[in-house]
Chain A
């Protein structure tokens, strides 16, 4: 079937029940989206479907027909995604970095929907994303910095 990833139409041949995560990683070689749990418990596989955050590990290929998929490889093309990536670098957020693709995707979705998130808003939007290295304080600070930068541009 044909799917739309990061503004590009791509033909995919995979079983209909194959989660988007494995379509991206194994079939398309887009390994930026990470496997962490397979049960939507950790957020490492977060992508956007029509701009909304979704867990790629529990989203079967059959459920994404007609939807626009954005991944970590493409999120920098959005203002929120770029601001989040810049803030992540400015504050040296990552440690091992493995969960950060998912964190960035969740943070970008948050900022797109909420230009000035409170701490509680950040908790609500980011609590589905586990970081075992414990980068949470910097994630929180980076989201606020990105929000500030985005707000300044408006």
Chain B
């Protein structure tokens, strides 16, 4: 029973971080049709921003989250204004934007490395203490992470489903031309989506750094997992991404517990390949009818 609870808690903590990362990634893909290779660096940037703010100003926890969110949102907006805007609608956009964002990723990583150095820091924006449930230790940090992630995801869902702003995003994702004909300003929607996804990524980064340490490469591993989650859910399917994040995190933590941490991700990936062979459009993706 203890083992079960332990796996459940580890899975939920991981799942909360993966969900935040992959919901943003999926949102960007669904709306702009672009795969953001720099998403991992958006996370890293959020974490470092919170670190800087906390070590300079001794911010309380809540403000740390706000700073991480702001930093992530800012880099999302800048990416759109400086790179994506010029490439939308060009031929081979899907491939070229991946190259461009990969380039951006290495620029940002290099800048972080040069500013902060490669030495891993502990994240000062954190909560200490733990509680016991049965024989299992639960840190308050894990509880806070899960709570914040759930709140943010529900908030995003509310934004997407219940507001005018969300309706514009969904309309653009469904059919860009039709939405524009109905008077939706696609450019504004793209900017908002990049900001929103950046904010989610920033917070995800802060959470990841509370569980491990800050380092310029910290975003690489979560990014890989977010990719896998988005592919399994079906690219652009925001709901599916959230659900798959928790599901895959649970499987990963179970495998990690029974076979050792290093096999968690590889097993997850094998599972994903099997899923994709059976359902190439992803678990939640609808089969697309291709018209020639």
- Are A and B a genuine interacting pair, yes or no? no
